[in-house]
C-alpha cells in the first residue's frame, strides 16, 4: 500500500433508504490513496448499494462522500475520476479487444495512434499477447475477458477502480490465478482499488484492509490478520471461516464457564469488564489425541468423522452426550490415527482463545 492521506476517499455518515428499508446505516470509512480495500459481507448486506453510491450510479439518502477533500455527492458518474469493473464485465461483443480497451479514450477524443499505443501497453500489463488487439471478444475465454475489462478500466486512467465481484462466475482454479494477478496489477499501477465480494478467500489474498458489512452496518475494519485473529463479535468470527463457538460467562480470575456444560476454561483475555459472551476457537489451533493431553483446556468426545481438505484433514468430534460438536484440523502429513466412534481428547491453549461479548 502506498503512503497517502487517510482521507483520500472518505465516507461520512452514508445512509441509503428505499422506502421503509434501510440498506446502509451511517457508514463511516476512510480509504488511503493506493490502498487495496475490500468490502465483504453476505448477500443483502449492502455491498452493491455502497459501491453504486461510490461510483455515482446512485445517491445516498444522507451523508457525504469526499475525494481528495472535495464532496462528490452530486458529481455524476461520468465526471468522477473513477471506473467500475462490473460482475458481467459489460464488454462490447461486436467490437475487437482493442476497440473495447480504447473505448474510453476514443470518447475522450484521444488520437488513434495514441490510443493504439496505450492499448498495447495495457494488454502487455495484463499478460495478453499483442495479437489479441484484433481478436473478437467472443473468441476470448472467461479469464481473458476479465483481463480485457480491467485493461479497459485502466485505459481511462482513473484515480480509483471499483470492482463488483468480477471473479464470482469463474471456476476455482482460474479465480485463484486472477486473485494473484489483480494484486500484482494493483502493486504495479499504484491505483486505489475498492473491491466488493462475498468471498473470504478473495478478501484475504488481495486486500490491504477489509471492511465487514452486515445489514447495512460497517461493523469492523482492519487488516486481514486483524479481522481473522481479532474479530469484534461472533458474526465476524463465523463469517471469516469455520469456528468452534461456546457461549460463556465470567468465572474465576482468568477463566470463563461454558453455559451449557458448566465446564470452565482458562483464557488470557482480560475479563474484568466481561460478564457474558462467546469463546471462539478456530479448528486449526485445536489439538487432538496425545497432543491435547497436556493442555489446560480439554474436552472429552467421540470422533464422528474426518474430511480431507487438500493439505489438511478436518475432524469432527462430538461431545459424549451428543449435544455439541467440535472441529479440529491437522496437516495432511500429520494425521491422527483414530477411527470414527473412538473416544478422543481435544484441547487448546489459553492464548488461542478469542473472547467476544456479542
Q: Which of 21-30, 34-43, 260-269 has the lowest mean pLDDT?
A: 260-269
Mean pLDDT of all residues belonging to the chain = 89
pLDDT at residue 5, as a whole number? 45
- Structural domains present in the chain: 9-232 (3.40.50.300), 242-356 (2.40.50.100)
Beta strands in the chain (DSSP E): 9-18, 21-31, 36-40, 62-67, 70-71, 82-85, 160-164, 192-197, 209-214, 217-222, 244-250, 255-258, 264-266, 276-281, 287-288, 297-309, 312-319, 325-331, 343-348, 354-356
Which pLDDT belongs to residue 63?
97
pLDDT beyond 60 at 1: no
Tell me what the mean pLDDT of segment 23-46 comes to: 95
Mean pLDDT of the 266-289 span = 87
Average pLDDT over residues 107-128: 90
pLDDT band for 271, please (50, 70, 90 cuts): low
Reported pTM: 0.88
Provide mean pLDDT across the span 308-329.
Answer: 86
Amino acid at each position: 500500500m502506498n503512503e497517502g492521506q487517510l482521507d483520500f476517499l472518505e465516507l461520512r455518515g452514508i445512509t441509503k433508504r428505499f422506502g421503509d428499508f434501510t440498506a446502509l446505516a451511517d457508514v463511516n470509512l476512510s480509504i488511503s490513496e493506493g490502498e487495496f480495500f475490500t468490502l465483504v459481507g453476505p448477500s443483502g448486506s449492502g455491498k452493491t448499494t455502497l459501491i453504486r453510491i461510490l461510483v455515482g450510479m446512485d445517491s445516498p439518502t444522507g451523508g457525504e462522500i469526499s475525494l481528495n477533500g472535495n464532496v462528490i455527492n452530486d458529481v455524476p458518474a461520468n465526471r468522477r475520476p473513477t471506473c467500475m469493473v462490473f460482475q458481467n464485465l459489460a464488454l462490447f461483443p461486436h467490437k475487437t479487444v482493442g476497440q473495447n480497451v480504447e473505448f474510453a479514450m476514443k470518447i475522450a477524443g484521444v488520437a488513434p495512434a495514441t490510443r493504439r499505443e496505450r492499448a498495447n501497453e495495457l494488454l502487455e500489463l495484463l499478460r495478453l499477447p499483442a495479437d489479441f488487439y484484433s481478436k473478437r471478444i467472443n473468441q476470448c475465454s472467461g479469464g481473458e475477458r476479465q483481463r480485457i475489462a480491467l485493461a479497459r478500466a485502466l485505459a481511462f486512467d482513473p484515480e480509483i477502480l471499483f470492482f463488483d465481484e468480477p471473479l464470482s462466475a469463474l471456476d476455482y482454479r482460474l479465480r485463484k490465478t486472477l486473485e494473484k494477478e489483480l494484486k500484482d496489477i494493483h502493486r504495479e499501477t499504484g491505483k486505489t482499488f475498492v473491491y466488493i465480494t462475498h468471498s473470504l478467500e478473495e478478501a484475504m489474498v488481495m486486500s490491504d484492509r477489509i471492511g465487514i458489512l452486515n445489514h447495512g452496518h460497517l461493523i469492523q475494519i482492519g487488516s486481514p490478520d486483524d479481522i481473522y485473529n481479532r474479530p469484534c463479535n461472533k458474526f465476524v468470527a463465523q463469517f471469516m471461516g469455520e469456528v468452534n463457538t461456546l457461549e460463556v460467562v465470567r468465572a474465576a480470575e482468568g477463566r470463563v464457564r461454558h453455559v451449557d456444560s458448566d465446564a470452565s476454561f482458562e483464557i488470557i483475555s482480560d475479563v474484568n469488564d466481561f460478564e457474558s459472551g462467546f469463546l471462539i476457537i478456530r479448528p486449526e489451533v485445536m489439538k487432538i489425541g496425545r497432543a491435547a493431553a497436556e493442555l489446560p483446556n480439554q474436552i472429552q468426545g467421540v470422533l464422528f468423522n474426518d474430511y480431507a481438505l487438500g493439505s489438511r484433514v478436518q475432524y469432527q468430534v462430538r461431545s459424549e452426550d451428543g449435544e455439541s460438536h467440535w472441529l479440529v484440523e491437522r496437516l495432511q502429513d500429520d494425521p491422527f490415527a483414530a477411527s470414527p466412534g473412538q473416544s478422543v481428547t481435544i484441547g487448546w491453549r489459553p492464548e488461542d482463545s478469542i473472547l467476544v461479548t456479542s
